[in-house]
């Protein structure tokens, strides 16, 4: 059994802006089921503190970069028995707005300090400088907000092993040289072998450079980020560290995302009772003011409305196919330009298109259950979770062939229908034409009831539960530990 500190800036259901929160909820549980001793540490944003169940004061935390009065609270991740440690630091976290952006969608001006401090606390726990009476063997850090922690930890002689997971390479936590100076980071880190990245301090680069192992969330994305097209300037660095880079596909939590037990949907169903699925469709059509019809394919989409997700392709595809028999139900929030375009379409074609701006966990579940097709037209997608949820709901994913989408959905053709591996529709070209063509193909198949049903069954048979991926992480933890121990032996 290893002791694992899992460091993350989001965890469902306490704070979530994207899939990182889902992973931070379900991977620690899966590791615990494999008999590991896991603690999760998150920043104490107001939502987190407000939703904690029976929080206990664990210890005060002080030291360099850490404001006075900072403490660690102990609770558990709701509906799990995974221990949660919350960094309660009102100076940095107790404010209205999001975890990274203020109410005007601007980055908090002190983000470098806020997350450097989080990293300092992670490192202090890791190195036994906090009064937690528990010290990890492994520190598993996630995304840029935790990137400086492996760097701090690397300075200690007797240290735990570190592993850093990249959930999205586009978000790098890059700050000015002044921020580097203010944080009083070791001056030798300002170099190509340190945290300097095109004259900026990069938290993500720190995570990559100083961790013993680096992972990303699908095998295809692990390959893609080695190329300039997907590397966001870091492809050279990643190629340099390729020997410690692995792609581990995310799993999903079927206790939250299964149509047979989903508490958000009206009509539960499984493979044997797919006719109940149609009742969810009619119910959602009614609620969203769409025309009530079983025979028109309903395309669903739930996502952050940003460039990454190919929302522009979707808008263009809707326009180009407005005369076709297709309905759309879309939930999301993000860039104003995309929100406005979707509002306009929904207003103009209210029987065909529904757009809900905002964030709703419950509606996301209802869209998964009600839709016939789930669309993810991403330009790049490190893993993507919704297409995996869709499979379990018998809602056939229509996805672009990239990253985790390519690793989880199998394009329908004669061969894959025959061998029962077909689970969805996959298109290559990042364009509205590519998406439009795939949408047409989905509509054609929708009319072939038997084939559709057989694909739904294939999809629902897929198993992306965490066990397998959690096992892979255990292997990487061992590798990281071996590396640290042999390094220490050489030093001795």
Options 84-92, 181-189, 196-204, 379-387: segment touching ligand ADP (CB under 6 A): 379-387
Does 224 sit near ligand ADP (CB under 6 A)?
Answer: no
Q: Where does residue 451 rank: exposed (0-12), middle (13-18), buried (19+ CB within 10 A)?
A: middle
Of residues 142 and 354, the one with the C-beta less far from ligand GLC: 142
Instruction: Pick the closest to residue 374 from 318, 439, 427, 428 (CA basis).
Output: 439
The tokens describing 1, both together, are: 């059994």
Q: How far is the CB of 27 from ligand GLC (least distance, A)?
A: 9
Q: How far is the CB of 13 from ligand ADP (least distance, A)?
A: 11
For the CA atoms of the chain, what is the radius of gyration? 23
Q: How far is the CB of 256 from ligand GLC (least distance, A)?
A: 15
Of residues 18 and 128, the one with the C-beta less far from ligand GLC: 18
Q: Where does residue 351 rank: exposed (0-12), middle (13-18), buried (19+ CB within 10 A)?
A: middle
Q: Give the one residue of 384, 403, 424, 434 binding ligand ADP; rule: CB under 6 A.
A: 384
Of residues 332 and 404, the one with the C-beta less far from ligand GLC: 404
Element spanning 454, H or E: helix 449-461
Does 386 sit near ligand ADP (CB under 6 A)?
Answer: yes
- Per DSSP, the chain holds a count of helices (H) and strands (E) of 20, 18
Q: How far is the CB of 449 from ligand GLC (least distance, A)?
A: 32
The tokens describing 33, both together, are: 């089921």
Residue ranges that bind ligand GLC, judged by CB under 6 A: 18-20, 23, 167-168, 217, 250, 381-385, 404
Q: Give the one residue of 41, 225, 303, 406 binding ligand ADP; rule: CB under 6 A.
A: 303
Q: What residue number has its CB nearest to ligand ADP?
A: 19
- Chain residues 2-21 in contact with ligand ADP, contact rule CB under 6 A: 18-19
CA distance 98 to 116: 18
The tokens describing 141, both together, are: 């850090």
Of residues 350 and 360, the one with the C-beta less far from ligand ADP: 360
How far apart, in Å, do the first and last CA atoms of the chain sit? Answer: 26
| Residue indicated by tokens 């990890």 | 136
Residue positions counted in the chain? 492
Residue 217 touches which of ligand ADP, ligand GLC, none (CB < 5 to 8 A by kind)?
ligand GLC
Q: Give the one residue of 360, 441, 454, 465 binding ligand ADP; rule: CB under 6 A.
A: 360
Q: What share of the chain is helix, strand, coil (3-state, %, to 5)?
A: 45, 20, 40
Q: Give the one residue of 300, 332, 397, 403 binding ligand ADP; rule: CB under 6 A.
A: 332
Of residues 167 and 400, the one with the C-beta less far from ligand GLC: 167
Inter-residue contact 357 to 332 (CB < 8 Å): yes
Using CB under 6 A as the criterion, which residues of the chain lie in contact with ligand ADP when the complex forms?
A: 18-19, 22, 302-304, 331-333, 359-361, 364, 383-386
């Amino acid at each position: 059994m290893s002791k694992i500190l899992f460091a993350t800036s989001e965890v469902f259901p306490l704070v979530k802006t994207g899939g990182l929160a889902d992973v931070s909820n379900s991977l620690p549980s899966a590791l615990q089921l494999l008999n590991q001793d896991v603690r999760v540490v998150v920043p104490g944003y107001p939502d987190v503190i407000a939703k904690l169940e029976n929080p206990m004061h664990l210890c005060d935390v002080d030291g360099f970069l850490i404001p006075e009065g900072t403490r660690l609270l102990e609770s558990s991740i709701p509906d799990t028995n995974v221990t949660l440690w919350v960094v309660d630091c009102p100076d940095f976290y107790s404010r209205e707005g999001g975890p990274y952006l203020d109410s005007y969608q601007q980055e908090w001006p002190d983000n470098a300090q806020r997350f450097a401090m989080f990293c300092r606390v992670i490192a202090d726990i890791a190195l036994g400088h906090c009064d937690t009476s528990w010290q990890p063997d492994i520190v598993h850090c996630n995304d840029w907000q935790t990137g400086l922690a492996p760097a701090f930890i690397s300075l200690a002689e007797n240290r735990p092993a570190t592993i850093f997971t990249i959930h999205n390479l586009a978000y790098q936590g890059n700050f000015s040289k002044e921020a580097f100076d203010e944080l009083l980071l070791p001056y030798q880190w300002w170099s190509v072998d340190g945290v300097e990245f095109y004259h900026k301090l990069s938290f993500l680069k720190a995570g990559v450079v100083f961790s013993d192992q680096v992972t990303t969330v699908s095998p295809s994305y692990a390959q893609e980020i080695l190329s300039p097209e997907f590397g966001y300037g870091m492809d050279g660095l990643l190629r340099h560290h390729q020997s410690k880079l692995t792609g581990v596909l995310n799993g999903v939590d079927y206790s939250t995302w299964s149509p047979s037990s989903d508490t958000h949907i009206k009509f539960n169903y499984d493979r044997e009772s797919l006719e109940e699925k149609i009742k969810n469709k009619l119910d959602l059509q009614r609620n969203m003011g769409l025309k009530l019809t079983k025979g028109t394919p309903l395309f669903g989409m739930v996502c952050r409305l940003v460039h990454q997700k190919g929302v522009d392709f979707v808008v263009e595809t809707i326009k180009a196919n407005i005369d076709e028999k297709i309905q759309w139900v879309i939930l999301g929030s993000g860039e104003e330009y995309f929100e406005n375009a979707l509002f306009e379409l929904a207003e103009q074609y209210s029987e065909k298109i529904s757009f809900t701006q905002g964030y709703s966990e419950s509606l996301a579940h209802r869209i998964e259950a009600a839709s016939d097709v789930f669309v993810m037209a991403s330009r790049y997608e490190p893993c993507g979770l919704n297409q995996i949820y869709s499979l379990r709901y018998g809602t056939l994913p229509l996805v672009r062939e990239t990253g985790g989408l390519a690793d989880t959905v199998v394009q329908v053709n004669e061969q894959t229908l025959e061998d029962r591996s077909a689970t969805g529709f996959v298109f290559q070209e990042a364009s509205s034409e590519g998406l439009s063509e795939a949408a047409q193909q989905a509509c054609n198949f929708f009319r072939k009831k038997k084939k559709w049903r057989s694909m739904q069954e294939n999809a629902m048979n897929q198993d992306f539960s965490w066990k397998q991926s959690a096992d892979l992480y255990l292997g990487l933890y061992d590798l990281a530990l071996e590396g640290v121990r042999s390094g220490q032996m050489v030093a001795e």
